[in-house]
Chain A
Amino acid sequence: MTDKLISIQNLSKTYNDSFQALKNVSLDINKGEIFALLGPNGAGKTTLINIICGLVRPSSGSVMVNGADIIKDYKITRSQIGLVPQELTLEQFETVFQNVSYTRGLYGKSGNPTYIEKVLRDLSLWDKKKTRLGQLSGGMKRRVLIAKALSHEPSVLFLDEPTAGVDVELRQDMWRIVENLRQTGVTIILTTHYIEEAEAIADRVGVIDNGEMIVVDEKDALISKMGQKKLIIQLHEKVTNLPEELSSYELELAADGLSLSYSYDAKSSQTGITNLLQKIKDSGMKLSDLKTEQGTLEDIFVSLVNKEKK
């Protein structure tokens, strides 16, 4: 068993006594992992994070961080948590260095300019240290928010859509930063709309929709368990039309006429592959190569959310 760091039990949230944003969510986060929370707009991701960080009060249920209750022992839990909010919420007139140091103070730590310098350097913000916050670009502001969240050396970091609206380069920077943090033992929980992001960096994935946690699993297990696989059949010679006898299969012919792809459910006992290959052989086509491809989280996500809607 891995060490549990955060334990969420039967958590519900009803806004304004009317709208239920979270419905009985239970979830454990392990020490040192990167956990990605996926879900469509309005699913309840931010609500869940904000409850753990103390910005929203839960309607019922409990959350423990490292054995301490987020409400009863809020000083203990909050001092271990860093939060990068979804919105770019910064004051205008302070300088980067001042503002990051300010956050460290709020978390009850004595000043440590050397550490702040390191954080700013890691985030490529050092040459902006004297710039006023209002004069930074959106991507830079996002970095400042991360620097603030790291200013007090937290052991858990929440990133609420860290890569929304950032360019490809910054996004890859972000992934590198997250990976480096994990190396130092920081547990990371992030939300994202980019499934390739979760695929690239997460250890485990949770999918939330309509306030309910639909699935939580290891990323790899999730992909192999739920994913469709694709068989790609490379042909020796170009074909323009598929032969009659193959029409019962849902085959896709590539535009260049040189490959066929066949999707199948890897979990099923009958994949139909043997028969398909037999039929191809019978039709006289010659194969040059075969390969299979794993389905992506995106496919899984779409199918899960659609299933929910029905």
Chain B
Amino acid sequence: MNYYAIKAIYLHEMDRLWRTLFQSILSPVVSTSLYFIVFGSVIGGMVPQVDGVSYGSFIVPGLLMLTLLTQSLSNSSFGIYMPKFAGSIYEILAAPISSFEIVIGFVGASATKSLIVGTIILITATFFAEVRIDHPFVMVFLLVLTCFTFSLFGFLIGVLSENFEQLQVIPLIVVTPLVFLGGSLYSIEMLPEFWQQISYFNPVVYLINGMRWAFYGVSDINIWISVVSMLGFLSICIVAAMIILTKGYRIKS
């Protein structure tokens, strides 16, 4: 293993975070705070309890997941796309590093950033709603798992994208709707029967419900199904990453 290289990539990526501290941390905090104010406090005042907790508390796990997911995707997709765009990726490709080591460096840094942002969001949430965590270990596990899985997914998007448009298309038109329709702001049971059935095909539903279980012990879906489906998605991403990188697809001619 080329540990120095992994460390170099990791620190290089983390540097980017410090350089852009403002947008990296402040902007997710501001936007999530807005959600808490609008949905939690305003609408929450009109909505009775959901699954035994106040509406403000109910939306915390979902909004946390929403931030983790979008942050992880954008961190790592930009992280690998930028050197590709600037051409400076040549030095990573010419260095004595394996694909696996490259992935660890980039994905590790991206996941770290998301975890930092996630922690800050969680702290912010406590200012707006009463937050209770029934299963803290499961919560941390899901947090870390989500950060790594979606950082890896974002890495793949960055590798495969040939321009900025493609880089933004997947997060924008695929992930955002899935997240909003993933039950971050409501319980699946509130939907009409037909949409409930459809929702079970949305992977984000499993994520958010897993997290909600970790917080309040309530969920539309069994926690194990949630965990297994997330691990499944992670495995798919790992296999895809290995195939794409060993073939050098869209990086090497």
Contact = CB atoms under 8 A, between A and B. Distances in A.
11 contacts: A15-B253, A55-B93, A55-B94, A75-B98, A85-B87, A89-B86, A93-B19, A105-B8, A106-B5, A106-B9, A108-B2
A103 interface: yes
Interface of A: 15-16, 53-57, 74-76, 78-79, 81, 83, 85, 87, 89-94, 98, 102-110, 148
A184 B2 CA distance: 27
Nearest to A47: B253
A108 B91 CA distance: 13
A110 B7 CA distance: 10
Given A83-B91, A106-B4, 14 more contacts: A55-B93, A56-B252, A56-B253, A57-B253, A75-B97, A89-B86, A89-B90, A94-B12, A106-B8, A107-B5, A107-B95, A107-B96, A108-B3, A110-B4
A273 B252 CA distance: 57
Contact of A55 (B7, B11, B16, B90): B90
Contacts of A83: 90-91, 94
B17 to A, nearest CB: 12
B5 A91 contact: no
Contact of A90 (B4, B86, B96, B98): B86
B211 to A, nearest CB: 35
B86 A92 contact: yes
Contact of B5 (A85, A89, A105): A105
Contacts of A93: 16, 19
A108 B86 contact: no
Contacts of A102: 8, 11-12
Contacts of B93: 54-55
Interface residues of B, number: 29
B252 A85 contact: no
Per DSSP, are chain A's interface residues mostly helix, strand or loop, or mixed?
Answer: loop
A90 B253 contact: no
Q: Which 7 A-B pairs have the closest CB atoms?
A: A105-B8, A89-B87, A106-B95, A75-B96, A78-B96, A79-B96, A108-B2
B97 A94 contact: no
A148 B87 CA distance: 15
Contact of A94 (B3, B15, B92, B98): B15
A78 B95 contact: yes
Nearest to B83: A91
A151 B126 CA distance: 48
A302 B134 CA distance: 80
Given A56-B253, A91-B86, A102-B8, A108 B94 contact: no
Given A15-B253, A92-B86, A105-B8, A75 B2 contact: yes
Nearest to B20: A93
Nearest to A89: B87
Contacts of B83: 91
B248 interface: yes
A94 B82 CA distance: 13
Contacts of B96: 74-76, 78-79, 107-108
B87 A87 contact: yes
A134 to B, nearest CB: 10
Contacts of A57: 248, 252-253
Nearest to B87: A89
A54 B93 CA distance: 7
A89 B88 contact: yes
B94 A109 contact: no
A103 to B, nearest CB: 6
Contact of A91 (B8, B88, B95, B253): B88
Nearest to B82: A91
A164 B12 CA distance: 29
Contacts of A107: 4-5, 95-96
Given A57-B248, A74-B96, A94-B15, A108 B5 contact: yes
B13 to A, nearest CB: 11
A89 B8 CA distance: 19
Interface centre among A15, A75, A148 (most CB of B within 10 A): A75
